[in-house]
Amino acid sequence: LFNDIDLLPPDSLFNIKQRLSQDSRPVKVDLGIGAYRDDNGKPWVLPSVREAEKVIQKDPSYNHEYLGIGGLTSLTQGAAKVLLGDDNKALKEKRVVSVQSLSGTGALHMAARFFTKFCGDKLVYLSDPTWANHNAIFETMGLKTATYPYWDPATKSLNLKGYLSAIESAPKGSIFVLHACAHNPTGLDPNQEQWASILDAIIKKDHIVLFDSAYQGFASGDLDRDAFAVRLGLEKLAEVSPIFICQSFAKNVGMYGERAGCFHIVLPRQDQSVSIENVKDAINSQLAKITRSELSNPPAYGAKIVSTVLNDEQLTEQWHKDMVTMSSRIIKMRHQLRDNLVKLHTPGNWDHIVGQTGMFSYTGLSPEMVKRLEKEHAVYLVGSGRASIAGLNSGNVEYVAKAINEVVNH
Ligand code: PMP
């Protein structure tokens, strides 16, 4: 019965981890998977998370009961506030529907299922390049995807002209998936002015926006600064169309494996003839149907941790410090890598490494160079040349720079 099933290639990212674990060389460096590491190369449990775990376990009502289908309300409400802002008009005007999701991937999947049901004829536009799973998530649901230019390899900067003309020429009412901050894989974000022109162009063509927010606070260490694009989008689109937001706490709370995330739909202001409460109830019922048939109800433990961090003033303060710890270490590593390459007179300009933001750097190294880095130096990164800067530390950054220098020169 199953003899003719196609063997699919392994997932390129998770496969790096496997090759690395089988590599017996004494010095090896993992710049593949996007997970934060401390300066000893170890996973880091945030101090705010350690405290939150204590709080949860001390609670006399501590248990492992099911959550409701929509998830933990204290999480979804706290999460919406963190991303949209305390004084957000959409929140005040009660135009936001928020449910818990299986981290960011689950939120994207929920969006995809929602689109399939209510706007399945629309094209989904993804940045070129984008996080590889974006294609898989939307295409698996049968949606058609297209790309908009983003990275200009010649200048290692944003191809704004190409981006805007793709928005202009896309069929009216298409869906645009926008990385809220710390673009994966390039580490390159539009500046504030560029965001304004992107969003204005989107409005002109009645396109629909989906913000994928997987790195809030991780880019700059500042939650509000990293929410700039989302908040500008909410302001500009408030009278125009709904906005979809997929929010992950994998990176900024370090909840990778606990799968804590949220999916939000922000409705535009309605005219008097429509009851927004009725629209919200209908949307909630549809999202509940998706969750019930797929997970029954979302995972509780990570949700409780994130909710505790978001709703306790002292823990929130600690969390902000934790994000600064992570983002500033990554920025320091960007500088050390660039400086070492300059010191070695490695051909080319390496300033883009420090100009980029978030966890990743699109180094500009060719697939051939990436292969040699792995084979000859045990430095592992994705074939596209994307390096997870979080994998660098004061003990290996010089080694990595020397390895890059060697493959670029010979
Ligand atoms: N979107 C982007 C752009 C990402 O980089 C990631 C994490 N790699 C995600 C969403 C979702 O990740 P998770 O499902 O672990 O929250």
pLDDT in tens, 35-53: 999 999 999 999 999 999 9
Residue 13: which pLDDT band, with cuts at 50, 70 and 90? confident
Q: For residue 134, give both structure tokens.
A: 């974006």
Query: Catalytic residues, which ones?
Result: 131, 212, 251
CA 79 – CA 100 distance, rounded (Å): 9
When the pLDDT of each residue in the chain is averaged and rounded to a whole number, the result is 96
Tell me which of 212, 255, 259 to substitute to probe ligand 1's pocket, judged by most ligand atoms within 8 Å of the beta carbon: 212
In ligand 1, the atom with minimum distance to the C-alpha of 130 is 3
Which CATH topology does 12-45+326-409 take? Aspartate Aminotransferase, domain 1 (3.90.1150)
Token pair for residue 49? Answer: 């998370």
- With beta carbons less than 8 A apart as the criterion, state whether 385 and 187 touch: no
Helix (H, G, I), strand (E, B) or coil at 333: helix
Residue 345: left (phi > 0), alpha (psi -120 to 50), or beta? left
Residue 276 pLDDT class (50, 70, 90 cuts): very high
Least confident of 91-95, 109-113, 118-122: 118-122
Which ligand 1 atom is nearest residue 34's CA?
8
Closest residue by Cα to atom 15, ligand 1, is 250
Q: What is the dihedral of CA 162, 165, 167, 172, to 10 degrees?
A: -150
Q: How far is CA 23 from CA 10, 16, 27, 277, 388, in A?
A: 18, 11, 10, 57, 19
Instruction: Determine if ligand 1 sits within 6 Å of the CB of residue 101.
Output: no
Cα of 380 to ligand 1 centre, how many Å?
20
Helix (H) or strand (E) holding 179: strand 175-179
User: Does pTM top 0.90 for this prediction?
Assistant: yes
Residue 278's CB is within 10 A of a number of other CB atoms, namely 10
**CATH 3.90.1150.10 intervals, the chain:** 12-45+326-409
Estimate to the nearest angstrom the gap between the alpha carbon of 336 and the chain centroid.
Answer: 25
C-alpha of residue 138 to centroid of ligand 1, in Å: 14
Among 171, 158, 238, 241, CA closest to 198: 158
Stretch(es) of the chain classified as CATH 3.40.640.10? 66-311
What is the predicted pLDDT for the residue at 66? 97
Pairing mode, strands 29-30 and 386-388: unpaired
CATH class of 66-311: alpha beta
- DSSP class of residue 43 equals B
Ligand 1 atom with the smallest distance to the CA of 179 is 3
* CB 214 near ligand 1, within 6 Å: yes
Paired with 91 in beta bridges are: none
